[in-house]
Each structure stands twice: as C-alpha cells, then as structure tokens.
C-alpha cells in the first residue's frame, strides 16, 4: 500500500478549491465572504482618520440628543455643529444666474392601465449623463413621485420636471420644476421628505440635486438644488457648490435620514469631483441641516478612480450615523471592482472601504445601492445591483456590509443589459418582498424587475413588464409601492429615443373616469360587473358633492390588496376598471369611503 502523501493531498485540495472558487465567480455565488477576499493587486484600505474641529462636548450633546430621539435638540445642535464645518463656496451666483420656475402642465395620461403602461412624461429625455435621468419615489404621504431630466429643446438647455400621483400611478399631475436657458443638466437625484406627519399637503417636500454646466461636455459642472412642496409651492433654488477652477462635478446621488426625523431631517448628496480632463480628485460629500438652504462639504480622497457614486443613509445608534457610498473602482481598462465606502454623517475626510467584489479581467459597472431603513436594533440589510461584463448581478449583506453574498443573477447567465440596473427598498420588512431591482435588456425590448427579501427566500420575477420599447441609453427606475402592509413592485422607464417616460406597477387600476353628466342625489357604490370576473371588472360609484374619496380592495383576512381611488373628486358618477391579474382566485371585498358615507360589497375572482 502506498504511503499517504499529505503535501500532495494539500496541493490537490487547494487546486480544487481554487477551481471551485473561480467557477462560482464566473457564475453565481451563494457564499458569504468578507470583503478582503476581493482586494485588487496593490489595493489597500486607504482608510483616512482626521480630527475635525467640532468640540467634543458639542458632539457628545448631539449624540445624546439622537439617542433619546429628541427632534428639537437634534435640529438645534446640528445648526451649531455646522458652524464648525467649512461652508460651501457658491461662486458665479450673480443676479439672473438661476433657472426659471416651470409652469405646471398636466402629463398625457394613458387610460388603459392593464393593457398599456401609463405615459407620465411626453417628449425627449436627456441621455448625455446616461445615469439617473429619471428618478421614482413613494413619499411618506403614500403618493408616487417621478422626476424627469429633459433633453435640450429650442431655447431651453436644461429642464427637470417633477410629477406626482395620488392613486398609485393610474394618473399623474405635474408639480413643477425648472428650466435653464443657459446651462445643461447632466443627471438628477430626487428626495421626497416630510417636515411633519400632521399635514402632508403642506409638509411634504421634494428636493432635487443635479449638476449643470454652460457647455454640453459638462466641463466646470457645478452642483445645484431645488426644493418645493408637493403642490409646487415654496419653490426654492440654491447654487450648492462650484468646483475649483478646471474641475467638474458629476453623477450626483442623494439620501436623507428622513425616515427617522421630521423637521430635523438632514439632506446628503455625493458627487464625483474630477478635473475637466477626467482625472479623479475624489468623492465630495455635501450636507445640509436646513433643507438645502446652505451646505457644508468634505472631499473623500480614496486614492483610486471611483465612478458613479450611489449613496444611502445607515442608522447605527451611536449618535453619529453613516453615509454609505457604492462606487465603481477602475483599476485597468478591463478591470473594475465594486466598493462600498462608509463615512460620517457630518462631512469628513474620514472613511472606511469595504471590498465587495473584484475578479481579474472583469468589469463591475454602475452600482446602485439600497439600505433598508430600519431602526438600529435590527440588522442593517443592504443590496447592490450592477452589471458584471454587462450581465445584471446583485449582492447583499445582512450585517451592515461586514460580509457579502456576491454575484447573484438578476436574469440568466447569458442576459445582456443596456449597462444600467436599478434597486430600492421599503422600511417595512414584515411580510417579505421589501426590495425591488430591475434592468433593461441590451436591445431595449424588455424591462425586467424582481421583488424579494434579504436574504432572498421567495423571489417574484416580472419579466418584460413594459408595453413600449425602452431605451438602452438611460437607466430605468424602481420603487416599492406600499398600500398598508402590502408591498407592490413599481417602475418607470424612458421609451425608445429616449423619448417619453412610462410607468407601470403590480396590482394597479386603469384611470378613473366620469361616466355621467347628471348630478347624483346621493352616495352610491354599485356592484362590480362582471361578477364573477377574470381578471378585469368595472366598479361604479356616485358622489352628490365634492370631497375626499377612497376606494380599496381587501381579501378575506381584511388585508388591503389594492387602492383604486385615493384623492379629491368632484360630484358625479365615476367608473373604475380594476385588473386583478396578480391575485389568486377567491372572494374579495371593495369598500368606498368618504367623509360621510361608507359601503362595502363582495366580488369573486375566478381564473
């Protein structure tokens, strides 16, 4: 019998392990690993720690205020801390050097929801910046919001319009926006925040961050912001920052801590700062504690070429929370890594790098990050989407970026995307499916989305959800549309050209329409027709006077499964077409609610 050779066995075992690892990296990994496995040759952490000028006693007082959830103290102490940080320089802010406020014009609604996507925006869409020309959010008021960066037309070089929907996306109205006659807009990032939860109409605030330049190549591009209420009131423009001579800002991404705070909400924006020739300067982090009126900033010098920053807020319960920045790190023409950078909420050069993914000869590109906004007592769950050599992938962490499961397939191993992916999440994790992600195929034919949890258990995949040809030049956008405790998948995308912007979502209805010119003398809710139905039915209701109306569908357990109407309506008789294609067969109920009338009826879905 031959003698056992331990050395040969170890070499053989190591070779098998290496082959197995390479195979997983080529396909889809299910292993959870520390980031150090994916450092590129010569790459170090390059963590920076610099003492700031904020008095320690002031920081301790601020930290104590945050730990006890003191909104007023956080607002007051945040203003004090800002005084110790360098305020942004707003050069070239001369009289007249500002955009003009748009006049709201309603978008061209598409009436057939279940057979065709709703057209939210009509006209050309910008694409020079590629990334983030369209942004989609659900506000805490339950409404959907969409921002569109429009292509230069005629005498208007740069233009952004914001739309809103109070009924889940069936119909949209224009809030407002801005027009530049002398500056181009590269890309846009939108926040929807509440200053209180008592009066959404007055307190819901839209904040836009975007970069502009006097030239179409975006040299010397500066950062600007626009805030306004959801009805377009209190329109406020600010020039946030002008870069140093010969430099430019690009690819703005914004986030806030607004899930946890009201009036004391802090706004954050990160841009890549580079020379006009494209040489990396760093990632610049901006902070505003007064709703974008003024900003402080710090340059995060990572020592590497980091592109397409995408940021999210992370609650830590230490009194000083983190801003996480996903970035595409370029090492060579054919080697791009995926990195996550953590920095303080108060702008600082201090940062720490997590090494998420890297493979020799592979390009991970254009990451999108979402951090599930839960309180500190729950694990921080994170998800990143990007392309790996133009194949859509996702990566997730259940422990605040300490370890990652990488290279999970969004489509198939042979799927080719149009460079861009998208993801977002909702704070409500009960019931699952609180994360959504999506991508567009290379030919623009299919907009595909997936809804899942972290870690994935049951995954709902919705392939080719678009009814119009999409654009391969511009990224789609996604959002969770939440009704009560139920979470639905929603997305927007520019059409071919790129021209027009469309919206679709799971479990939505056609546009509501008036069906009679006669004034009804009483409230009424009619029986749906047909009944039983599969999968579309009509529901009529009558209003003798104007008021707020809510029409919802719920199942046998009392769980809301759809909101058909939620808004202010004039007196009249209306028809709603409801498509229940995503529901299982069974008995459901629909309820009409006004200030003085409530009625419930039963309907049956048979597939």
Domains and CATH numbers, the chain: 100-505 (2.120.10.10), 513-605 (2.60.40.1930)
Residue 462 burial class via C-beta count within 10 angstroms: exposed 0-12, middle 13-18, buried 19 and up: middle
Q: What is the pTM of this model?
A: 0.82
Q: Where residue 424 falls among pLDDT bands split at 50, 70, 90?
A: very high
pLDDT at 20: 35
- What is the distance, to the nearest Å, from the Cα of residue 483 to the centroid of all Cα atoms in its chain? 18
Confidence of residue 577 (pLDDT cuts 50, 70, 90): confident
State the Cα–Cα distance between residues 366 and 132, nearest whole angstrom: 11
Which DSSP letter does residue 36 get?
Answer: G
Overall average pLDDT of the 508-514 stretch:
60
> How much is the average pLDDT of 359-369?
96
Using only C-alpha atoms, the chain has a radius of gyration, in whole angstroms, of 25
Asked whether residue 509 carries a pLDDT value surpassing 70, the answer given is: no
pLDDT band at 156 (very low <50, low <70, confident <90, very high): very high
Q: What is the pLDDT of residue 46?
A: 62
Of 14-18, 137-141, 392-396, the least confident? 14-18
- Cis link prior to 305 (omega < 30° from 0)? no
157 pLDDT exceeds 90? Answer: yes
Using DSSP, state whether 512 is helix, strand or coil.
coil
Residue 90: pLDDT above 70?
Answer: no
- 42-68 pLDDT tens trace: 787 766 666 678 898 998 898 888 888
Return the pLDDT at 4: 44
pLDDT at 495 over 80: yes
The dihedral over CA atoms of 501, 507, 511, 514, expressed in degrees to the nearest 10, equals -170
Residues 199-242 pLDDT 10s: 555 689 999 999 999 999 999 999 999 999 998 999 999 999 99
Residue 79 or 3, more confident: 79
More confident of the two residues 408 and 458: 408
Question: 331-365 in b/e burial notation, b at 16+ Cβ within 10 A?
Answer: beeebbbbbbbbbbbbbbbbbebbbbbbbeebbbb
State the DSSP H helix or E strand holding residue 452, giving kind and residue range, or none if neither. Answer: strand 447-452
Answer with the residue of higher pLDDT: 139 or 376: 139
Overall average pLDDT of the 130-136 stretch: 89
Which of 205, 153, 200, 206 has the alpha carbon at shortest distance from 180? 153
Q: How would residue 115 be classed by pLDDT, with cut points 50, 70 and 90? A: very low
Residue with tokens 């037309």: 153
Q: Compute the distance between CA of residue 559 and CA of residue 592 in angstroms, rounded to an integer.
A: 15
Taking Cα atoms as reference points, which of 91, 63, 235, 206 lies closest to residue 140? 206
**What is the reported pLDDT for 518?**
79
Instruction: Look at residue 53 in the predicted model and tell me its pLDDT.
Output: 81
pLDDT grade for 166, boundaries at 50, 70 and 90: confident
In this prediction, residue 598 carries a pLDDT of: 96
């Amino acid at each position: 019998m031959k003698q056992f050779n331990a050395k040969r066995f170890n070499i053989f075992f190591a070779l098998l392990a290496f082959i197995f690892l390479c195979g997983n990296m080529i396909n889809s990994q299910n292993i959870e690993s520390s980031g150090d496995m994916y450092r590129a040759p010569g790459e170090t952490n390059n963590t920076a720690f610099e003492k700031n000028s904020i008095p320690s006693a002031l920081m301790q007082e601020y930290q104590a205020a945050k730990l006890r959830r003191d909104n007023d103290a956080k607002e007051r102490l945040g203003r004090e801390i800002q005084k110790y940080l360098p305020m942004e320089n707003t050069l070239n802010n001369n009289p007249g050097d500002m955009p003009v406020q748009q006049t709201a014009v309603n978008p061209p609604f598409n009436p057939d929801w279940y057979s065709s996507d709703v057209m939210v925006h009509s006209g050309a869409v910008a694409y020079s910046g590629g990334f983030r020309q369209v942004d989609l959010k659900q506000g805490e008021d339950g409404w959907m919001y969409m921002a569109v960066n429009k292509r230069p037309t005629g005498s208007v070089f740069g233009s952004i319009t914001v739309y809103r929907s109070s009924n889940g996306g069936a119909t949209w109205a224009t809030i407002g926006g801005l027009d530049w006659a002398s500056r181009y807009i590269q890309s846009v990032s939108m926040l929807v925040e509440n200053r209180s939860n008592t009066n959404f109409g007055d307190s819901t605030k839209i904040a836009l961050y975007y970069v502009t330049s006097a030239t179409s190549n975006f040299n010397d591009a500066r950062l600007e912001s626009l805030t306004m209420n959801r009805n377009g009131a209190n329109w406020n423009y600010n020039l946030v920052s002008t870069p140093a001579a010969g430099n430019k800002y690009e690819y703005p991404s914004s986030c806030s801590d607004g899930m946890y705070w009201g009036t004391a909400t802090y706004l954050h924006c990160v841009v890549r700062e580079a020379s006009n020739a494209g040489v990396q300067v760093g990632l610049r982090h901006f902070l505003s504690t007064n709703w974008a009126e003024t900003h402080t900033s710090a340059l995060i010098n990572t020592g590497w070429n980091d592109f397409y920053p995408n940021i999210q807020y992370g609650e830590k319960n230490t009194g000083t929370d983190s801003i996480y920045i996903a970035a595409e790190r370029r090492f060579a023409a054919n080697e791009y890594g995926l990195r996550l950078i953590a920095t303080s909420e108060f702008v600082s050069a201090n940062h720490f790098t997590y090494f998420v993914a890297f493979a020799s000869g592979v390009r991970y590109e254009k990451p999108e990050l979402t951090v599930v906004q839960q309180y500190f007592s729950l694990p921080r769950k994170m998800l990143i989407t990007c392309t790996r050599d133009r194949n859509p992938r996702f990566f997730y962490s259940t422990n605040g970026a300490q370890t990652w499961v990488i290279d999970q397939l969004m489509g198939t191993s042979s799927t080719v995307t149009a460079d861009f992916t998208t993801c977002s999440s909702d704070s409500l994790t009960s019931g699952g499916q609180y994360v959504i992600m999506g991508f567009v195929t290379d030919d623009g034919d299919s907009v595909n989305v997936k809804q899942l949890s972290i870690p994935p258990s049951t995954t709902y995949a919705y392939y080719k959800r678009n009814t119009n040809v999409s654009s391969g030049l511009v990224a789609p956008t996604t959002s969770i549309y939440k009704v009560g405790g139920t979470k639905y998948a929603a997305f927007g995308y520019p059409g071919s050209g790129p021209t027009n912007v469309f919206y679709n979502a799971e479990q939505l209805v056609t546009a509501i329409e008036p069906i009679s010119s006669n004034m009804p003398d009483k409230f009424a809710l009619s029986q749906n027709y047909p009944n039983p139905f599969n999968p579309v039915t009509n529901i009529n209701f009558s209003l003798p006077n104007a008021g707020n109306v809510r029409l919802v569908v719920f199942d046998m357990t009392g769980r809301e499964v759809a909101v058909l109407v939620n808004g202010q309506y004039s007196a009249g008789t209306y028809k709603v077409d409801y498509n229940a294609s995503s529901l299982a067969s069974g008995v459901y109920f629909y309820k009409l609610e006004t200030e003085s009338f409530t009625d419930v009826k039963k309907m049956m879905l048979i597939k």
